[in-house]
Structure 1
Amino acid sequence: MKELHIISFNYPYPPSYGGIIDVYYKIWALSDLGIKIHLHCFVDQVPETIDQEIEEITENVFFYEKKKNPLLYFSGIPFAAAIRDSDVLLKNLEKINAPILFEGLQTTHIIRFLKDSGHQLYLRHHNNETEYYKGLSSSEKNIFKKIVYRIESLKHKGYQKKLLKKFDVVFCLSEKEYDEVKMYSGNAQLIHIFHGNQSVKQLDKKGNYFLFHGDLTTADNKKALIETIDLFKTLPQYKLVVASDRASEDIKRKISAVENISLTPILTTENLHHLLENAHANILISYQNSGTKVKLFNTLYNSRFVIINGNITDDPILTNLCLYGANMDEIRQQIITSAEKNYDDNEKRKEILEKTHSDHAKAEQIVKIIFKN
């Protein structure tokens, strides 16, 4: 029986946002291949129960509370990594001799105690954290948060340079990060995002509205939505649905002030899929260059047209399945163009996505690398 420790930056259920979606469906796919998963989760508060969906795909689940000391902001270690440190985690890892897969650089603070322990060490490189925090700083309006994010970006620059060479393999999400890690430390492997979609939905030619969905507490998504709202003010003939469970009062006011824009909660995965299936086109915009966004897969598998800017993906195969706009004027034109078009890309998407982006195939690749079989 092949066994694997996975150290997650959070509890991976429900799989409701980018990084956690990748963690959950990776565990699911590896478990489906017969890998015995020992899951370690850093959390704000230890849950009272473990969800059945997690129990069914893991051998053990361990929880560790993130440290709550604000003075860790003044540490030379990035704050996200400094708060994820645990002596109990080290003891649990030593009890079971198995390779260790770290989910994101924020889980790697304990690596200083592990390099000579005999464990094989692997990293799932979720983001170039230097660029990620730099992007957050650029998008953030609050001056205090802007400064904090900029400092975190600088901390990560030294941290990831020091750490990336310590892993047997670094599994990268995107072409850009793969090229960066390969050039720096030579231990990169490109494994695209795990997304949980099994097959491309068969949809008819027309949907009912344009859709923007996402977590509206993040600076990047808020900025993208405000740009999109301004766009649809000039396109009163088209309906925009904004789907989110986390919208501020300010965002709600901006949406309610425009007659052709409405806000709806997501609540469940099933409801999100219903919204996607009834959308004619999806607006996906980002101001952070951090590889392929996981919500791109949800839209390509479950909806019709997808209108993107350059930061949604750096994968040319995926870009070719979308309508691209380099700026908001071009995005506007793609909205107008797609509104008049019939959707008939089901078979093209099915052929490409199920061949190149299957979760099962990605899990097999990881198993082959880690267990050398």
Structure 2
Amino acid sequence: MKQQLHIVCLDVPFPADYGGAIDMMNRIILFKQLGTAIHLHYFSYNDRGMPNELNQYCESISVYERKKFTTGYFFDKQPYIVSSRINEELITNLNKDNHPILLEGIHCTGILPYINRSNRRIVVRMHNDESIYYKELARATGSIKQKIFFNRESRLLKKYADTLPGDCLYACVSEKDIQVLQQDHRITNTAFIPTFPTWQEVNCPEGMGSICLYHGNLSVPENEEAAMWLLCRVFSKVRMPFVIAGKKPGRRLLKAAELCQHTCLIANPSESELNDLIRKAHIHVLPCFNKNITGIRLKLLHALFEGRHCVVNTPMVAGTGLEEACHIAGNSNGFASIIAQLYHQPFAEEEIKLRKRLLGNTYSNEKNTRQLIEWLW
């Protein structure tokens, strides 16, 4: 008889077109491949719909509405990303049996006080330290309303983490996030499970590419900030062909890209279009301006698995163990200087071997799913 597993997702995991969805969807695929019967639960609250593609991986699928934001939020002691996902129907469905549960993100943990946890294993997949993540969103946004909301969420998330029950296992994406849970919130039942990338083998093209590339979800303030910084501070100094690619770019970024003759902005590329750009690129330019580091950036892994040269700053690679595979710059002049040097330097076989050694089997989705199975049963 198949092992039965409840997976509760904070969002629709398909299409896997941003970091969190990629992480969740690849876990679902591997659980299915390894013979687990999945009872999927997710919240539908945006334009991602209810995709039929999920049916092939799941025994059952339940969809729930996320509570809408109201002004009453400002009297709530729980963070909105948590309180808006406390759903009575979800709680009832999970309490109908005693199958193990995988909760995706701290977002879904508000139901834990209402779930029968006796003789039942529950793993919480911590996508990152959300308190730090929201603090950085507040820093990066130019909207006063968003800044107020993000800062409040950050404060509430830090307090909320102190209330997480100790009888669940918290599977973190980085050792740094484990330290925060253990030292700041006194949660000892933690473990490391890296992110689940789509790319499972290093498949970098040797030789020369033709463009410099920055890619990311451009609707996220920190990614828009990075793209604007590259336009104004780096590619104003080096006249190399520069492509920015990503979802939902804002007007400010679109206008800035139009003013740069050697820059092209590709909005909302398909998965195949983005993969093609990554393989055509000669240099991946990936700065990160978060002062506080949490999680790992999937765009960095994508570039390392399938691209050529990577130029980053310290926050992008801090704590990843991947520093050796990247060229690290400290400021805009450093980025410009390294780009100028690398643009005429072929990407060699030795660098591909280095990436294979560093990435190794750390990001093996099958190995890491088998580890989750050991914890869940």
Aligned equivalent of 2:182: 182
Quote the offset at 1:89 in angstroms: 0.4
Contact kept in structure 1, 2:234 and 2:335, CA below 8 Å: no
> Separation in 2 of the partners of 1:304 and 1:182?
37
Query: Is 1:294 the equivalent of 2:295?
Result: no
Bigger drift between 133-142 and 305-314 goes to 305-314
Contact kept in structure 2, 1:195 and 1:359, CA below 8 Å: yes
How do 1:103-252 residues align onto structure 2 when only pairs under 5 Å count? 103-114=104-115, 116=117, 118-163=119-164, 165-183=165-183, 184-252=186-254
Aligned residue type for 2:63? F
Query: Is 1:335 the equivalent of 2:336?
Result: no
Counterparts in 2 of 1:238 and 1:45: CA distance versus 1, 3 Å: closer
> Separation in 2 of the partners of 1:48 and 1:15?
13
Bigger drift between 76-85 and 235-244 goes to 235-244
Counterparts in 2 of 1:348 and 1:151: CA distance versus 1, 3 Å: same
Aligned equivalent of 1:285: 287
CA RMSD of superposed structures (Å): 1.9
Aligned residue type for 2:281? A
Aligned residue type for 1:286? C
Q: State, as a whole percentage, how many aligned pairs show the same letter.
A: 26
Could you list the runs of 4 or more consecutive aligned residues of structure 1 that deviate by over 6 angstroms after TM superposition?
Answer: none
Contact kept in structure 2, 1:5 and 1:100, CA below 8 Å: yes
Aligned equivalent of 2:58: 58
State TM-score, norm by structure 2.
0.92
Contact kept in structure 1, 2:214 and 2:285, CA below 8 Å: yes
Aligned equivalent of 1:318: 322
Aligned length: 369
Quote the offset at 1:155 in angstroms: 0.4
Bigger drift between 236-245 and 314-323 goes to 314-323
Counterparts in 2 of 1:315 and 1:58: CA distance versus 1, 3 Å: farther
> Separation in 2 of the partners of 1:332 and 1:73?
45
Residue-by-residue CA offset, 1:163-185 (whole Å, 9 max, x unaligned): 1x434210000121022223421
Aligned equivalent of 1:71: 71
Counterparts in 2 of 1:43 and 1:230: CA distance versus 1, 3 Å: same
Quote the offset at 1:66 in angstroms: 0.6
Quote the offset at 1:123 in angstroms: 0.7
Contact kept in structure 2, 1:5 and 1:40, CA below 8 Å: yes
